[in-house]
Amino acid sequence: MYNPKNTAVSQQSYAILNAIRNESDIFRTSTPLVEDAASARAFGEFVTGAGAYKELFWGILVNRIALTVLSGREFKNKLAQFRRGKLGLGDIVQNIWVGLVTPEGWTSDVANPGDVYRTNKPDAKVSMSAVNCKLSYEITTNDTELGYAFVQENGLYSLVSKITERLVTSEQTDDYIMMKWVMAKNLIANPDAVVSVGAVTDQASADGAIRDMKEVVNNYPFMKTQYNEAHVPAPCPTEEIVFLTTSKSRADFDILSLAKAFNVTYEQFLGQEVQIDEFGFDEFSLERLYDLLDEQVALGLIPAYTPFTDAELAYLNQIVSAVVDKDWFMSFDKVYEMNSVYDAKHLNNNTFLTIHRIYSYNPFANCTYFTEAAKPTISLNKSTETVAVGANKTLTATASPADATVTFESSDTSVATVTSAGKVTGVAAGEATITAKASNLAGSATAKCVVTVTAN
Which domains are assigned to the chain? 4-79+144-159 (no CATH), 377-454 (2.60.40.1080)
> Cα(45)–Cα(289) distance, rounded to whole angstroms?
45
Q: Phi and psi (nearest 5°) for 341?
A: -130, 130
State how far the Cα of 337 lies from the Cα of 142, in Å rounded to an integer.
Answer: 21
> CB neighbours of 165 closer than 8 A, spacing ≥ 6?
none
Cβ contact 431:450 at 8 Å: yes
Q: How much is the pLDDT for 5? A: 42
The enclosing H or E element of 22 equals helix 4-22
What residues form DSSP beta bridges with 400?
377
pLDDT, tens digit, 9 for 90 and up, residues 338-361: 887 877 787 777 888 898 998 988
Tell me the residue length of the chain. 456
Nearest CA-CA partner of 13 in 124, 179, 207, 149: 149
Give 188-193's long-range contacts (Cβ < 8 A, gap of 24+): 188/312, 188/315, 188/316, 188/441, 190/229, 191/439, 191/441, 191/442, 191/443, 191/444, 192/226, 192/443, 193/227, 193/229, 193/367, 193/368, 193/369
Which run of H or of E encompasses 159? helix 155-189
Peptide bond into 401 cis (omega under 30): yes
Q: pTM above 0.85?
A: no
How far apart CA 410 and CA 424 sit, in angstroms, is: 9
* Other Cβ atoms within 10 Å of 373 Cβ, number: 22
Look at strands 329-343 and 83-86 and give their pairing: parallel
Amino acid at 308: F
CB 124 within 8 A of CB 99: yes
Q: From CA 200, how far away is CA 245, in angstroms rounded?
A: 14
Report the candidate in 305, 301, 280, 299 with the shortest Cα–Cα distance to residue 358.
301
- Which residues of the chain, if any, have pLDDT below 70? 1-10, 12, 50-51, 63-64, 66-76, 87-102, 105-129, 142-149, 151-158, 161
Strands 194-196 and 367-371: parallel
Q: Residue 445 to residues 196, 330, 400: CA-CA distances in angstroms?
A: 13, 31, 10
Rounded distance, CA 320 to CA 370, Å? 6
